[in-house]
Amino acid sequence: MGAAFDIAYVFRFVPMLLTTLDVTLRIVAGATLLGLIAGLLVALPRLYRVPVLQNISQAYVSFFRGTPILIQLFLFYYGLPELLKFAHIDVTRAPVLLFVIATYGLNGGAYMSEMIRSAVLAVDRGQAEAAYAIGMSGYRTFTRIVLPQALPVALPLFANAVIAMLKDTSLAFTLGVMELTGKSQTLGMLTRHFTETYLSLALIYLLISLALEKLFRQAERRLLRHEREPSADVPRRSRRMRLLLRRPAGKGDVSL
């Protein structure tokens, strides 16, 4: 049984848990970068329908989206070193954090590949064909035509993927990584105030998620800053037009 609930422990545990925040953020940052690279490499064969690579990419996405992240952590940490032994590669002394980042990065790459593919397909194909028709190269067409329109579509999906990855890092403690959740487990065992520990942990995750959400929202507004917004006087002009149509035609007016 745990100790009696004491709200003071909730605020006392927050600075203790924050000492391991850098580990969680390193996992998220490293996995996000790896996920973007993997997602792009996986999305390209499916976008351009490369015969063999397209099937491999589909299998990759199906595996990482169809199996739990916890099972993937165990497979990479315990199974990958055994497989690499056949190639005479010893990774048993590699830091566990590398296995965690690799697992989360490859898992995130499966979702980000779908994000990239859907964002690119959302851009009108005719615009790319018109760019090719006037002599633009494939690289310039992608960077000048496709990418500026695909980014606003992909950014909300990317934000969801990053925030979901942040919350999924709570499973890294199962491999002995002392991140936020691992630290909370230790504090709970030492003090027996489990409820207060988890409330502190939930508060930290919530604040980080809200900060990321605000950051991505600002980035999305910046990407859409050139979009034309409806004029504020449109309703006023509409009412004026209705009044003009209702008014009897007078001298100099054109009756409709």
In the structure, what pLDDT confidence band is assigned to residue 16 with cuts at 50, 70 and 90?
very high
Asked whether residue 208 carries a pLDDT value surpassing 60, the answer given is: yes
pLDDT at 253 over 80: no
Looking at per-residue pLDDT, the higher value among 247 and 72 belongs to: 72
Residues 6+ apart with CB under 8 A from 174: 70, 73, 74
Residue type, 191: T
> What residue spans define the domains of the chain?
7-246
Name the fold adopted by 7-246.
MetI-like fold (1.10.3720)
Q: What is residue 252's predicted lDDT score, i.e. its pLDDT? A: 46
What pTM was computed for the model? 0.83
> Tens of pLDDT along 66-113?
999 999 999 999 999 999 988 888 888 899 999 999 999 999 999 999
Three-state SS sequence of 177-225: CCCHHHHHHHHHHHHCCHHHHHHHHHHHHHHHHHHHHHHHHHHHHHHCC
Over 50: is that where the pLDDT of 192 sits? yes
Radius of gyration for the chain, computed over Cα atoms and rounded to the nearest angstrom: 27
Residue listed under structure tokens 């993927």:
161
Question: Quick check: 23 pLDDT over 80?
Answer: yes
Q: How many CB atoms lie within 10 A of CB 76?
A: 19
**How much is the pLDDT for 235?**
52
Which residues, other chains included, contact 224 with Cβ-Cβ below 8 Å and sequence gap of 6+? 152
Instruction: Check residue 88 and give its pLDDT.
Output: 87
Alpha-carbon distances of 20 from 26, 202, 255, rounded to whole Å = 10, 14, 77
Mean pLDDT, residues 27-51: 93
State the Cα–Cα distance between residues 42 and 44, nearest whole angstrom. 6
Buried b (16+ CB within 10 A) or exposed e, 203-241: ebbeebeeeeeeebeeebeebeeeeeeeeeeeeeeeeee
Q: At residue 224, what is the residue type?
A: L
pLDDT at 233 over 80: no
